[in-house]
Every structure is written in structure tokens, then in C-alpha cells.
């Protein structure tokens, strides 16, 4: 690479994973006719030992202003100041706020001889990929996008350069590597070793290998459903995929709606913290700051090392006091393996229950018997040994990548941005909009609304807020398909405002009622939720629309348009479409939730 101006066709991708307990950032530099170059932040401010991960923790002063982030919160000077000025420690949050610090910038600049020039040229078009749990929805994505803009990661007009990927999808891309997917994951439970064709793939992004087996039943039928589980600090994300093809690249489709459980590593930490509080309540360690340091030490050492209930663990409390009845010897507490296992018990059970549910179809038949684990919590020797033993009893093969998996999501997000593997997803909700429904006296559902019907200019009686479904829950959504619903609007000839607005809603339960509101009520029924509002200027469409006659002799025109939804990607996109002079015209695409 020379020191001349960078190619305008080059692009920088930045991925950020704001985890419940730890965060990380990586980038990928794309240059013409060159393989992708990967890098990441390997040292954060106030970090004693370089590490790609940084604690997702912040200190706020009494005025609500952030004062310290990440490793800064463990710096002695910051801790002293926080204690004397009553700062508030905030942790176990995800995407609450990005800090506009220079860690990512500095890491990128020092990776290249002309890094400063490259950063200045690439930053205005940089694409930002943010990861989030399966359970997050448009509202959380909208908040993340606005926060990224507020932090200066993209400008106010660059919101479309912020992309989202679920932790489960990013985790799978980490395992397979976005640039080298050549073989599909499949079930090998009933096959002989000779029936397997094993291909070891080495990821350029994370320099670890993972054995991916492509298998076939003896009759040649491929068994292609599998589960990916991303086990991280706060959540466990489970997604079931089906392999469509593996040539030339792997293509997957969701075969069940993704699920998310609050069963990550923080549950273990919470259980341990409660134990320490109870055991140390009448000792010299019974102080909030002491308990915090003890729990922090547990998190970084005993929690990560624990592998068997047959082995005791030791926690450094500080000092040299001995309390024999509490198994404390010279400042070290002995914790039995059985007690350590109890810290993990709830998380392990939730993960097992989640796998058991996700691996079966609607009839209760198991359709997936191979599971890939990744994420920082998957690196726990105890968690993996428990899952592996449980899987053997259930006939489920559970595996994880070689090497560390604590940056699986942030590196997988880059692979996802380069080569999106999932080509279809399952609709988690019903999607639709509200319409005026012609009142039908013979329809029993209309009777409660009889006193609320109104007479419109076309000579018919209508009821407001009827439910018109565009996509039903459980529908297989193609990543490339746009789902459309036709609508008409009857406007008078003297109309001057041609800005059309349509609201889009989701319904969470199984069967949507025919109306969004109860008779005489202005609030949405339980289960309905407004997700966004789309707009378009239909002036030219109105001018070309045919004239209508009405009973009131008022000149009218019927304007036809469509509401278009793209749901097969990792976020919702919506827009209006209409015709002008025989060609389709689109309104602005909306990717964020309504502010209402």
C-alpha cells in the first residue's frame, strides 16, 4: 500500500458488539482487486493488559453525565473519584450509549503507514454493523441507530449506513467465515464414520479452525437442519437453520422463528454475588466495594476456570484474615464444586430447555440434532461439558469452534456484511396496516361498531381501524422479496394536500382480531403495536387518476398505491409505491420505528 490518496472505490466496514458484560470492535478494509483485510481494537484506554474485550460499564456523575467507560472504571484514580463524588456505576446494559472515543480510530491509524489519510477518506462512507440479541425489535434498532448518529459514528444523513445483525447470525458467520463457506452443517447422528466427508475450514477473520461436516443419509437425502446458539453475558440466542445449498457458497434459511433467553453468564454472576453477600455479611468483607471486587475476581477467574463439580474453587477476597467456619483461609475462600455448579444451574437448564424446544417442529418431531455453540459463555468448560453430556443422552451432537469464541459476534458481523448467508427468515409477528372497512350489517363483527360508522364521500358507510394483513406470522420471508398490499384513496377534485401517510403495525399473538381498536376506544388492542409510518407525495398519481361520479355530485378521483414491506433482512424496511406515467415510483424507504 502506498501513501497516495486512497481509491474512491475502497470501503471500510466497522462492527461493534455492545455486549451485556463485554464489548468489542473490529473492522474490515475492502480494496479493489485485494482480499479483505481484517483488524480490530486490541487495546482500550486504561487497560493494564491488552485485550480485544472491554467491560460494558460506565460511571455517571450526579448530573447524569458519563465520566468513565470500560477499563477506566477499574482505574484506582477513577474509583477514588467515583467514591468521593458519589458517581453511579451502570452495567449490564446493551446499546445504552456509544462513547465517541478514539480507540477504534487509533487502532486503525496505527495499523497502516498512511492510516490518517485513509481514515479521513473512508470515514464518510464507512458502513457500521451493530449486533444485537434475537429478541430485540425495531424500537431497539432505532435507538441504536440514533445513538450511533449522536456519537458521531455516522452523520445525521448516514443512518442508512448503519446495519444490524443478530448475534446468532453473526455467530454462525464467525464459525463458517463469510469468505470461505464451502460446506454445510448437517446431522451425523445415525451415520457411520465412513459416510462423513469432513472439510476443515480455516477462517481468515479469526484464525481458528472448525470442522464442518457435510453428510448424507445412505439414500442420498441430506439432513440439513441445525441450531446455532450464541451464549454471551446477558442472553442466549437460538436460531434453527436449514441448508438450502452449499455450492458455490452456503445458503441458509430460517426453519423456525429465532428465540432469545435471558440465560447468559450474568445469571451465574448474580447467583455468586448473592452467595458472597450472604456468606460475608458479618465479616470484614461486608462492604459494597469489597463485594464488587470479589465478584469481579470471581468473574475473571473461578467462573471461567470451573469445569467439574468434583473440583473445589478458590476466590481471593483480599487481606489475610482467616474465618475457618466460612472456609476462608488467609483471605481466600474455598467454594465446593457442588456450590459452583449451583451458580450455573439455572443458565444450563434454560439453555437445555431452549435447545429441546427449538430442535422440534410444530408436531413435536425433532428435526435438528446438531448444535453449534459460540460466544464468550460457550467457552466455559463447565457449560460445554454439561451441554455435551446432556446432548449425548438426548441424541443431539453439540460442538463449538476451536479456539476462543469471545469475539465470535463482532468478527462474524463483518463476515455477515461481506457475504450474507441467510436468504430467508421466518416472520415473528403478523404485519399489516389499518384500513377503512365498508360497514356490513350482516357481519356480526361489525355490529359493535354500528354507532361509530361514518358516511364517506363515495356514498358508503365505513368503520375505521380495520386490520388489513400484509404478511402473516410464520411466513417464510425471502431476503430479496418485497411484500406489497394494494390500497386506494378516494379524493375530491379540490384536494391540495397529496402527502399520503400509512401506519404499519405488528400483532404479536396468533390470530389478529378484525379491528385494531375496541368500539369507542382510541387505544390499540393488546397485542398490536405501531412500528413505523410511511409517506409519499401522490400529486402526479392523482392527476393521472380517473374521475369518479358520486351520489353527492362531488367530483372525485380514485388514487391507487401500494404499501411495500421488505422483511427478509435483519431489519424492517417499508415504503409506498404508486404509478406516474406508467412507471413505478417509490416514496422514501423507512427503516426506523415511528416516533409516535
The residue among 423, 438, 453 that closes a domain is 423
| 199 inside domain | yes
Which domain CATH number covers 290? 3.90.640
324 Rama sector, left if φ>0, alpha if ψ -120 to 50, beta otherwise: alpha
Contact 402, 210 (CB under 8 A): yes
Where is 145: in which H helix or E strand? Answer: helix 138-150
Do 327 and 434 share a structural domain? no
End-of-domain residue from the set 166, 191, 219: 166
DSSP 428-472: SSEEEEEEEEE--TT-TTTGGGGGG-EE-TTS-EEEEEEEEEEE-
Same domain, 473 and 536: yes
457 and 334 both lie in a single domain: no
Q: Give the pLDDT confidence score for residue 543 in this predicted structure.
A: 87
In a domain, 1, yes or no: no
CA separation, residue 157 to residues 86, 95, 227, 522, 584 (Å) = 38, 20, 38, 35, 25
> Do both 240 and 376 map to the same domain?
yes
Domain presence at residue 358: no
pTM confidence score: 0.80
Cell 416516533 belongs to which residue?
595
Pairing status of strand 397-399 against strand 370-374: parallel
Residues 214 and 282 in one domain: no
Residue 576 falls inside a structural domain = yes
292 and 326 housed in the same domain: yes
Among the listed residues 141, 50, 65, the one whose alpha carbon sits nearest the alpha carbon of residue 99 = 65
Residue 355 pLDDT:
97
The tens digit of pLDDT for each residue in 525-541 reads 999 999 988 888 888 88
Residue 45 belongs to some domain of the structure? yes
Local confidence pLDDT in tens for the 596 residues of the chain:
333 344 457 899 999 998 888 889 999 999 888 888 888 888 888 888 888 888 888 888 888 888 888 888 888 788 888 888 888 888 876 534 344 445 555 555 455 545 566 767 888 889 999 999 888 888 888 888 988 888 888 888 888 899 999 988 888 888 775 334 433 333 333 333 333 333 333 333 333 333 344 333 334 445 568 999 999 888 999 999 998 877 777 788 999 999 999 899 999 999 999 999 999 999 999 998 899 899 999 999 999 999 999 999 999 999 999 999 999 999 999 999 999 999 999 999 999 999 999 999 989 999 999 999 998 899 999 999 999 999 999 999 999 887 677 778 888 899 888 887 888 999 999 999 999 999 999 999 999 999 999 998 878 899 999 999 999 999 999 988 999 999 888 888 888 888 888 999 999 999 999 999 999 998 999 999 999 888 888 888 888 888 877 666 778 888 999 999 998 788 888 999 998 888 999 988 776 555 44
**Would residue 2 count as lying in a domain?**
no
In a domain, residue 374? The reply is yes
Identify the CATH number of the domain in which residue 156 sits. 3.30.420
What integer pLDDT is reported at residue 71 of this predicted model? Answer: 86
Residues 418 and 495 both lie in one domain: no
Query: Measured over all CA atoms, what is the biggest interatomic distance in the chain, rounded to whole angstroms?
Result: 97
Same domain, yes or no, for 39 and 142?
A: yes
Radius of gyration of the CA atoms of the chain, in A = 28
DSSP string across 528-564: EEEEEEEEEE-HHHHHHSPEE--TT---EEEEEEEEE
Q: Are residues 547 and 399 in the same domain?
A: no
Name the phi and psi angles at 513, rounded to 5: -70, 165
Decide if 505 contacts 432 (C-beta within 8 A): yes
Residue 297: inside a domain, yes or no? yes
Claim to verify: residue 437 and residue 405 sit in the same structural domain: no
Domain count, the chain: 4
403 and 520 co-located in one domain:
no
Res 570: pLDDT: 82
Structural domain range at position 449:
427-586
Looking at the structure, do residues 187 and 308 belong to the same domain, yes or no? no
Amino acid at each position: 500500500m502506498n501513501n497516495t490518496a486512497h481509491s474512491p472505490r475502497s470501503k471500510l466496514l466497522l462492527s461493534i458488539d455492545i455486549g451485556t458484560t463485554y464489548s468489542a470492535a473490529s473492522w474490515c478494509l475492502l480494496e479493489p482487486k485485494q482480499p479483505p483485510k481484517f483488524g480490530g481494537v486490541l487495546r482500550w484506554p486504561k487497560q493494564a493488559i491488552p485485550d480485544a474485550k472491554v467491560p460494558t460499564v460506565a460511571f455517571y456523575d450526579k448530573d447524569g453525565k458519563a465520566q468513565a467507560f470500560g477499563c477506566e472504571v477499574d482505574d484506582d484514580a477513577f474509583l477514588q473519584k467515583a467514591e468521593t463524588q458519589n458517581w453511579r456505576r451502570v452495567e449490564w446494559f446493551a446499546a445504552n450509549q456509544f462513547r465517541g472515543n478514539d480507540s477504534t480510530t487509533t487502532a486503525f491509524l496505527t495499523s497502516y503507514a498512511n492510516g490518517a489519510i485513509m481514515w479521513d477518506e473512508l470515514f464518510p462512507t464507512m458502513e457500521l454493523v451493530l449486533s444485537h440479541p434475537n429478541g430485540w425489535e425495531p424500537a431497539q434498532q432505532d435507538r441504536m441507530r440514533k445513538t450511533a448518529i449522536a456519537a458521531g459514528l455516522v452523520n445525521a444523513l448516514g443512518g442508512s449506513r448503519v446495519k444490524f445483525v443478530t448475534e446468532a447470525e453473526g455467530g454462525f458467520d464467525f464459525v463458517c467465515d463469510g469468505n470461505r463457506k464451502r460446506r454445510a452443517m448437517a446431522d451425523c447422528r445415525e451415520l457411520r464414520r465412513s459416510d462423513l466427508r469432513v472439510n476443515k475450514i480455516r477462517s481468515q477473520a479469526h484464525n481458528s479452525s472448525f470442522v464442518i461436516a457435510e453428510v448424507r443419509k445412505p439414500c442420498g437425502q441430506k439432513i440439513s437442519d441445525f441450531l446455532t446458539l450464541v451464549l454471551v453475558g446477558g442472553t442466549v440466542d437460538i436460531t434453527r437453520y436449514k441448508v438450502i445449498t452449499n455450492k458455490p457458497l452456503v445458503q441458509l434459511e430460517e426453519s423456525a422463528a429465532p428465540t432469545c433467553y435471558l440465560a447468559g453468564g450474568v445469571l451465574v454472576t448474580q447467583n455468586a454475588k448473592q452467595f458472597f453477600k450472604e456468606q460475608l455479611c458479618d465479616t470484614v468483607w461486608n462492604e459494597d466495594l469489597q463485594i464488587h471486587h470479589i465478584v469481579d475476581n470471581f468473574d475473571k477467574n473461578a467462573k471461567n476456570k470451573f469445569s467439574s463439580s468434583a473440583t473445589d474453587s478458590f476466590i481471593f477476597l483480599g487481606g489475610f484474615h482467616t474465618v475457618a467456619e466460612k472456609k476462608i483461609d488467609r483471605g481466600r475462600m474455598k467454594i465446593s464444586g457442588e456450590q459452583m455448579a449451583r451458580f450455573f444451574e439455572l443458565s444450563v437448564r434454560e439453555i437445555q430447555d431452549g435447545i429441546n424446544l427449538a430442535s422440534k417442529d410444530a408436531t413435536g418431531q425433532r428435526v435438528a440434532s446438531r448444535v453449534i455453540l459460540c460466544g464468550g459463555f460457550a467457552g466455559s468448560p463447565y457449560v460445554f461439558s454439561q451441554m455435551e453430556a446432556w446432548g449425548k443422552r438426548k441424541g443431539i451432537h453439540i460442538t463449538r469452534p476451536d479456539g476462543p469464541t469471545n469475539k465470535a459476534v463482532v468478527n462474524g458481523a463483518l463476515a455477515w456484511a461481506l457475504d450474507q448467508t441467510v436468504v430467508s427468515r421466518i416472520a415473528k409477528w403478523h404485519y399489516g396496516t389499518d384500513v377503512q372497512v365498508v360497514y356490513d350489517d350482516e357481519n356480526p363483527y361489525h355490529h359493535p361498531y354500528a354507532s361509530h360508522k361514518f358516511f364517506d364521500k363515495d356514498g358508503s358507510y365505513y368503520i375505521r381501524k380495520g386490520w388489513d394483513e400484509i404478511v402473516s406470522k410464520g411466513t417464510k420471508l425471502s431476503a430479496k422479496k418485497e411484500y406489497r398490499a394494494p390500497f386506494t384513496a378516494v379524493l375530491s377534485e379540490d384536494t391540495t394536500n397529496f402527502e399520503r401517510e400509512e401506519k404499519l403495525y405488528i400483532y404479536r399473538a396468533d390470530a389478529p382480531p378484525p379491528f385494531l381498536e375496541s368500539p369507542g376506544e382510541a387505544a390499540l388492542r393488546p397485542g398490536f403495536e405501531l412500528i413505523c409510518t410511511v409517506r409519499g407525495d401522490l400529486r402526479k398519481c392523482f392527476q393521472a387518476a380517473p374521475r369518479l361520479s358520486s351520489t353527492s355530485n362531488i367530483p372525485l378521483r380514485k388514487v391507487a398505491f401500494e404499501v411495500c414491506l421488505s422483511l427478509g433482512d435483519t431489519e424492517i424496511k417499508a415504503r409506498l409505491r404508486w404509478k406516474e406515467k406508467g412507471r413505478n415510483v417509490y416514496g422514501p424507504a423507512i427503516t426506523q420505528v415511528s416516533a409516535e
